[in-house]
Amino acid sequence: MKTSEIRELTTKEIVEKIQVEMDNLIRLRLNHAVSPLDNPLKIKDAKRNVARLKTVLRQRELSDNQN
The one-digit pLDDT tens for each residue of the chain (67 residues) are 899 999 999 999 999 999 999 999 999 999 999 999 999 999 999 999 999 999 999 999 999 988 7
Q: In this structure, what CATH number is given to the domain that contains residue 28?
A: 1.10.287.310
Q: What range defines the domain where residue 37 resides?
A: 3-66
Helix axes 41-66, 11-34, angle to 10 degrees: 160
Q: Report the C-alpha gap between 28 and 15 in whole angstroms.
A: 20
Q: What is the pLDDT of residue 13?
A: 97
- Domain count along the chain: 1
Q: What is the pLDDT of residue 66?
A: 85
Give the C-alpha distances (Å, rounded to integers) separating 44 from 11, 39, 49. Answer: 24, 10, 9
Which has the closest alpha carbon to 19: 55, 54, 44?
A: 54
